[in-house]
């Protein structure tokens, strides 16, 4: 059988997928992730869904090319075409943080504590972290991966208590302190903060810049602690 190869971002998603669970891959595009997991025997079945007919057809072709069984295809928006009892693991990857939030907002059953969600936002990860905490999701694992020169965050979450994420958690992550790429991630976050602060200073909006400066101080402390712990 021809074997599929995954790029680093999808490979980490595959590594974080709990073995033995039924998968729903939302926005599956070419279907590489569910096909790989089925080929490797990591999962018994998968649903590949997409809002577009063309990407879903790409996924069908991938399954045919790699002679993969156990894959069901759904043309639907987000989780609208998937029932809670059909899946144990939900993957929503390669979308903006706001889009992921909107998909989960429309499917409150995803926070029932019986499903593992693997989320990989391309943008607005800070917004997503805050929304997850406020809406009854608990982060059980968070990891970083570099792919084609970009740094990505992947969160594994499940239903949990509601609360409020601190700014340090929203920007610095829930549980990234032991990730080997955490120092690089903090440097990236700090650059973004300093650029925003510079723009606010130039516009004379000191009241908006002040809380960002306090947040930058916290992230700088986290970076220094990470560097000390990693001999840098």
Range of the domain at 122: 8-164
Q: Is 31 left (phi over 0), alpha (psi -120 to 50) or beta?
A: left
Whether residues 54 and 153 fall in one domain: yes
The answer to whether residue 171 sits within a structural domain is no
Tell me what percent of the chain is helix, strand and coil, each rounded to the nearest 5.
Answer: 45, 20, 35
Neighbours of 162 (CB within 10 A): 13
Residues 38 and 123 in one domain: yes
Q: Does residue 169 fall inside a structural domain?
A: no
Q: Could you give the CA distance from residue 94 to residue 4 in angstroms, rounded to a whole number?
A: 19
Local confidence pLDDT in tens for the 232 residues of the chain:
788 999 999 999 999 999 999 999 999 999 999 999 999 999 999 999 999 999 999 999 999 999 999 999 999 999 999 999 999 999 999 999 999 999 999 999 999 999 999 999 999 999 999 999 999 999 999 999 999 999 999 999 999 988 999 999 999 999 999 999 999 999 999 999 999 998 888 888 888 888 999 999 999 999 999 999 887 7
In this structure, are 194 and 160 located in the same domain? no
Same domain? 41 vs 93 = yes
Name the domain count of the chain.
2
> Is 42 in the same domain as 148?
yes
């Amino acid at each position: 059988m021809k074997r599929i190869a995954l790029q680093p971002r999808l490979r980490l998603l595959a590594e974080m997928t709990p073995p033995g669970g039924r998968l729903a891959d939302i926005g599956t595009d070419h279907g590489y992730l569910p096909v790989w997991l089925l080929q490797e025997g990591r999962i018994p079945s998968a649903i590949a869904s997409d809002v577009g007919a063309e990407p879903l057809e790409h996924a069908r072709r991938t399954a045919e090319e790699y002679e993969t069984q156990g894959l069901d295809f759904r043309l639907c928006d987000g989780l609208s075409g998937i029932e809670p009892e059909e899946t144990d693991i939900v993957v929503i990857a390669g979308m903006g943080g706001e889009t992921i939030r909107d998909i989960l907002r429309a499917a409150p059953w995803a926070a029932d504590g019986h499903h593992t969600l693997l989320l990989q936002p391309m943008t607005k990860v800070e917004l997503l972290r805050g929304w997850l905490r406020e809406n009854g999701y608990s982060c059980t694992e968070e990891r970083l991966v570099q792919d084609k020169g970009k740094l990505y965050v992947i969160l594994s979450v499940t239903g949990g208590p509601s609360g409020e994420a601190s700014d340090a958690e929203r920007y610095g992550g829930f549980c990234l302190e032991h990730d080997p790429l955490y120092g690089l991630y903090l440097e990236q976050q700090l650059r973004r903060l300093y650029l925003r602060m510079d723009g606010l200073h130039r516009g004379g909006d000191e009241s908006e810049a002040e809380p960002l400066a306090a947040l930058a101080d916290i992230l700088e402390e986290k970076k220094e602690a990470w560097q000390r712990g990693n001999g840098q």
